[in-house]
């Protein structure tokens, strides 16, 4: 069964304190791995797609990396506005177009 586990469940950082979020996955065949950001009361907002091991994508203070078993979302010098829940999802080759999500990491950046 396709499965995604994110850690930690919650993370509290000081402004400027860099860290990484982990997404471990098991999937029959990986079509793509996606990172989303979700603010309270809102829908997930697309950040990155990664397709193959070794791939990296960057956007402002965020960088996503991918291996054969896990993905990391690195946050460099975060600001309070980076506070949100970060969701990881895999899209298997089998099962049409659905995304299988992890439970998310709730990130809080204190000023």
Partner 1 sequence: DTGVSQDPRHKITKRGQNVTFRCDPISEHNRLYWYRQTLGQGPEFLTYFQNEAQLEKSRLLSDRFSAERPKGSFSTLEIQRTEQGDSAMYLCASSLAEQGGNQPQHFGDGTRLSIL
Question: Where on the chain is the footprint of partner 1 (CB under 8 A)?
Answer: 4, 31-32, 34, 36, 41-46, 49, 51, 87, 89, 91, 95-104
- Residue closer to partner 1 by CB (options 20, 103) is 103
Task: Tell me how far, at minimum, the Cβ of 88 lies from partner 1, in Å.
Answer: 8
What is the C-alpha separation between 62 and 55, in angstroms, rounded? 14
For 80, phi and psi rounded to 5 degrees? -55, -30
Contact assessment for residue 93 and residue 100, using Cβ atoms and an 8 Å cutoff: no
Nearer to partner 1, 11 or 100 (CB): 100
Q: For 93, left (φ over 0), alpha (ψ -120 to 50), or beta?
A: alpha
CB 19, min distance to partner 1, A: 20
**Shorter beta-carbon distance to partner 1: residue 41 or 54:** 41
Q: How far is the CB of 44 from partner 1 (least distance, A)?
A: 5
* 88: nearest Cα among 18, 29, 13, 38: 38
Q: Which residue number, 62 or 87, has a Cβ lying nearer to partner 1?
A: 87
- 28 DSSP assignment: S
- Taking the complex as a whole, how short is the minimal distance between the CB of residue 75 and partner 1, in angstroms? 19
């Amino acid at each position: 069964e396709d499965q995604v586990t994110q850690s930690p469940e919650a993370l509290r950082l000081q402004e400027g304190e860099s860290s990484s979020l982990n997404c471990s996955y098991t999937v029959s065949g990986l079509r793509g791995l996606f990172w989303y950001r979700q603010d309270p009361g809102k829908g997930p907002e697309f950040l990155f797609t990664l397709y193959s091991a070794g791939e990296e994508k960057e956007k402002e203070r965020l960088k996503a990396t991918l291996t054969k078993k896990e993905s990391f979302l690195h946050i460099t010098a975060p600001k309070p506005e980076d506070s949100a829940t970060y969701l990881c999802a895999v899209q298997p080759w089998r099962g049409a177009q659905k995304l299988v999500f992890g439970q998310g990491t709730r990130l809080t950046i204190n000023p």
